[in-house]
């Protein structure tokens, strides 16, 4: 369960508390809502490697990510992409308290690896199209009416990620274990009716397996048309079948009346 609210204490104090970043405005209603599903199958037998929230077959890295940026997003130059990486590095330091100096890595090639030691590595990624990550329904183009999306309405995703190594990593929220994943990047939501949407995102916390072998993604969103929003998704461990590894990721993107 994710509790996403600001609640007064029993003494009716004017002081509010929140589970996540207090700088994010409270979203009381969601005016735009997109549900998505990723239920693809990866033709790989590396089940041990896949026992992570985002496995080897789910994220294509390095050059594949740079192609994604230049082909599908507004980041058309190396300088644009380097700007996104710099934002991510600064967020890791200032929002999560990770011991990193963003200015030390300006000369690292965009398709290279930033190694923080202890197996903690930062690199560009794009979600494998075999994941079949797509938008199923939407609400917002026509008031509160929920309508199905065309079968080809993909939700493309790419950005930069930090995958925690076996030594774990220290943050301002304690130490996170092996496999925890921090991300920041861009979604491209294909919508043949309302027009494709480019959505900036960054994680409000790392994706990591819980006691039920399921991970939860909680991302902050921004789109020039829809404004601020959030993404919630559950990511259970993939199921190993004879012909590959089957995934089943389910989630929703919501945008609300944050300025009212």
| In contact, 215 and 208? CB cutoff 8 Å | yes
Q: Where does the pLDDT of residue 20 fall: very low under 50, low under 70, confident under 90, or very high at 90 and above? A: very low
38-47, 110-119, 181-190, 226-235: the lowest-pLDDT one:
38-47
pLDDT by residue (tens digit) across 59-91?
999 999 999 999 999 999 999 999 999 999 999
How far apart, in whole angstroms, are the C-alpha atoms of residue 83 and residue 177? 28
Residue 103 has pLDDT above 70, yes or no: yes
Does the pLDDT value for residue 28 go beyond 70? no
What are the b/e assignments for 154-170, b being 16+ CB within 10 Å? bbbbbbbbbbbbeebbe
In 3D space, the residue among 191, 204, 190, 197 whose CA is nearest the CA of residue 232 turns out to be 204
Give the alpha-carbon dihedral of 182, 85, 200, 67, to 10 degrees: -100
Instruction: Give residue limits of the domains in the chain.
Output: 37-256
Counting residues of the chain whose pLDDT is more than 90, the rounded percentage is: 60
- Other C-beta atoms closer than 10 Å to the C-beta of 238 total 23
CA-to-CA distance for 220 and 36, rounded, in angstroms?
16
Q: Which two tokens stand for residue 215?
A: 């991970």
H helix intervals, 77-158: 78-94
Please give the average per-residue pLDDT across 101-127, as a whole number: 94
């Amino acid at each position: 369960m994710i509790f996403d609210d600001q609640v007064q204490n029993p003494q009716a104090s004017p002081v509010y508390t929140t589970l996540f970043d207090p700088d994010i405005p409270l979203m009381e209603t969601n005016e735009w809502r997109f549900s998505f599903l990723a239920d693809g199958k990866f033709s790989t037998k590396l089940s041990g490697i896949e026992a992570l929230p985002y496995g080897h077959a789910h994220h294509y890295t390095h050059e594949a990510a740079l192609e994604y940026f230049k082909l599908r997003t507004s980041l058309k130059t190396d300088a644009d992409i380097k700007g996104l990486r710099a934002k991510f590095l600064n967020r890791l330091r200032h929002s999560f308290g990770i011991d990193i100096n963003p200015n030390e890595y300006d000369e690292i090639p965009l398709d290279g690896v930033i190694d923080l030691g202890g197996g903690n590595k930062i690199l560009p990624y794009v979600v494998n199209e075999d994941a079949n990550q797509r938008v199923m329904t939407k609400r917002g183009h026509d008031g509160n009416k929920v309508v199905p999306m065309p079968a080809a309405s993909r939700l493309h995703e790419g950005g930069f990620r930090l995958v925690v190594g076996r030594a774990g990593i220290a943050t301002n929220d304690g130490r996170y274990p092996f496999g925890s994943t921090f991300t920041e990047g861009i979604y491209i939501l294909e919508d043949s009716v309302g027009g494709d949407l480019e959505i900036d995102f960054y994680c409000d916390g790392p994706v990591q397996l819980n006691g039920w072998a399921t991970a939860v993604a909680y991302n902050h969103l921004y789109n020039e048309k829809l404004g601020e929003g959030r993404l919630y998704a559950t990511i259970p461990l993939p199921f190993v079948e004879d012909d590959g590894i089957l995934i089943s990721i389910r989630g929703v993107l919501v945008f609300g009346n944050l300025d009212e």
